[in-house]
Amino acid sequence: MAFPESFIEELISRNDIVEVVESYVHLNKRSGSNYFGLCPFHNERTPSFSVNPAEQFYYCFGCGKGGGVINFIMEIENLSYPDAVANLAQRAGMKLPEDRYDPNAKKRSRLLALNRDAARFFYSQLATPEGRAGTEYLRSRGISPATANRFGLGYAPDSFQSLLKAMQALGYSEYELFDCDLIRKSSRGSFYDTFRNRLIFPIIDVRGDVIGFSGRIIGSGEPKYLNSRDTPVFNKGRNLFALNLAKKSKSGYILLSEGNIDIVSLHQAGFDSAVASLGTSLTSEQARLISRYAKEVVLAFDNDGAGQKATQRAIQIFEKLEMKVRVLQLSGAKDPDEFLKTRGADAFRLLLEASEDQIDFRMNSVRAKYDLTKDEQRVAYLKEITEMLAGLPDPVVRSIYGERAAGLAGVGKDTVIGEIERSRRGLLRRAGRSEQKAMRRPEQTAQPARSTARYRNPASAVAEEGIIRLLYLEPTLYSMKGLPPPDAFTSEELASIYRLLLSRRQSGEAVSISSLSSSLTAEEMSLLVSILQKPEQLSGSQQTMQDYIHRMEEAQAASSGSEGRDLRAIASDLRERKGYNQ
């Protein structure tokens, strides 16, 4: 293990999973002993993300992700196991053991150092004759030397191996450069610089590390922006350009836009809370990252069709995080940079102060589609607006905006509010039916929730899951005779979990979600937690274990025949024999 077991046990005891999860997810619904909230790992309307305080694990019944507090931090912060442990240790005020060993730490440190040296190389090129194209471009876009310095902007020479040779001279290998996506491989097998004749924007995380790059082409050519691919130290969907600067802002909000030049121009004009996504649509991970630094976000996307669609999508993501969202409507300019150039910072500040609440924006977007002087258009408007308002979680907010929609359409408010609530009930019923429908399908529910693992023999896998569940919940069963060997399992994922349980018990090590976090993959951990979520009767556990083993052998024997038994019959038989519920 990378960390002493005693240290991990203390770490878990000092980081209660409910408290840790609540710093990212609003938990406001309790069912039995579990807390529920909207899953931070996928989009959903009704809470399916559960946290079990007694067992100290989480599980989402929607997407199937689960694990202990270390797994949660790994997943939500995109951290390795050692980095997640370090994160929790810092949170609890614990000092990391000096004798710990992290085989990936050296590589990560090396790649971060390479990115830092590459950023310095690009920056230095602006002062060379070859970098004149870069300095001229900055001047043409109105970016001052001071602003360029603040962002660490640089220039990639119009050469195929300038960076490669410069980094090799510092002792870095081609493979390290390739791992950081600083060079790429041609069809003939030779390496060439990824960024050429481009203005370079270093991507710096909130810890101050250079993790990647974005290059804006100078002159004509495609793509206009080229971003680093995902690397061992960079994930574009989990980071934001300029958040390292924006997190220090005192404005109280984050200003989210699209282009790097827009962000640089906004900061230069005094709007120091501006950030941008990295060549992708806004992700839920990026939204959660923003929510750590502000409770309000202002959307300032481009004033075109794509920008309006991006605005609507971002609103839905931020709504889930219960953040206040405002929408800045640009007029007379396609993006913030152009607006600042033509109208100035004072005009932009007035525009910012007049930005719409996100519900007003959405209502106005729907209103603009229809001519409300025509009856058929009013009917269509009311149908769309009531469906939109039905998705709002707060009944008071639904009522207020429903009354406004009624006034615009010239219809009684009670009629519109009643229709909104009817649509709301239908929305919740459809969600409930969908869940119940899935639960009635043994063939589907026998499969693990995560798509990366599929059972070849679902009937046998149901019994294999039961064996794992019983061993975890009833440790005395490890000494029971007749336990099957791991190779007898039909599922490789289940066999891996089972083998680990046996190995740890034989060596006298603890078996718990927290102690298994370093040994199981994210998929295996989620699978284990999903198994533990299912009900189990521990009275007569030895007989129950024998039933599972018999059921496993029977299912495998049946599948080796010409047709095999129907899964529904096997599932029904299993429920009758031991009270197991799918």
Tens of pLDDT, residue by residue over 201-227, are 999 998 899 999 999 999 888 899 999
**137 and 182 part of one domain:** yes
Hey, is 60 helix, strand or coil? Answer: strand
Q: Classify residue 238 by its DSSP letter.
A: G
Hey, is 115 helix, strand or coil? Answer: helix
Q: Which residue has the higher pLDDT, 1 or 523?
A: 523
**195 and 269 part of one domain:** no
Tokens 């009270």 appear where? 579
**450 and 559 part of one domain:** yes
**320 and 352 part of one domain:** yes
**226 and 247 part of one domain:** no
**356 and 380 part of one domain:** no
Tokens 């989009």 appear where? 43
C-alpha dihedral (389, 390, 392, 395), degrees to nearest 10:
100
d(CA 520, CA 423): 44
Task: Give a yes or no: residue 538 inside a domain.
Answer: yes
Phi/psi for 415 (5° steps) reads: -65, -45
d(CA 325, CA 305): 20
Amino acid identity at 160: F
d(CA 554, CA 546): 12
- Cα–Cα distances in Å, from 520 out to 77, 81, 327, 349, 425? 18, 11, 43, 51, 41
Q: Cis (ω within 30 of 0) for the bond into 223?
A: yes
Which percentage of the chain shows pLDDT scores above 90? 55
**354 and 374 part of one domain:** no
Max mean pLDDT among 23-32, 92-101, 256-265, 554-563 falls in 256-265
Per-residue confidence (pLDDT) for residue 566, from 0 to 100: 47
Task: Give a yes or no: residue 184 inside a domain.
Answer: yes
Domain that holds residue 484: 444-578
**573 and 506 part of one domain:** yes
Task: Give a yes or no: residue 456 inside a domain.
Answer: yes
Closest by CA to 516, choosing from 182, 69, 173, is 69
**17 and 139 part of one domain:** no
Tokens 């990212």 appear where? 24
Q: Classify residue 26 by its DSSP letter.
A: -
Hey, is 573 helix, strand or coil? Answer: helix
**162 and 61 part of one domain:** no
**324 and 381 part of one domain:** no
Task: Give a yes or no: residue 100 inside a domain.
Answer: no
d(CA 578, CA 575): 6
Whole-structure pTM value: 0.68
How many structural domains are present in the chain?
A: 5
Q: Could you read off the pLDDT of 267-321 as tens digits, one per residue? A: 999 999 999 998 778 988 899 889 888 989 999 998 888 888 899 999 988 887 7
Per-residue confidence (pLDDT) for residue 127, from 0 to 100: 95
Per-residue tokens: 97: 């053991």
Q: Is the dihedral of CA 223, 226, 231, 235 positive or negative?
A: negative
Task: Give a yes or no: residue 98 inside a domain.
Answer: no
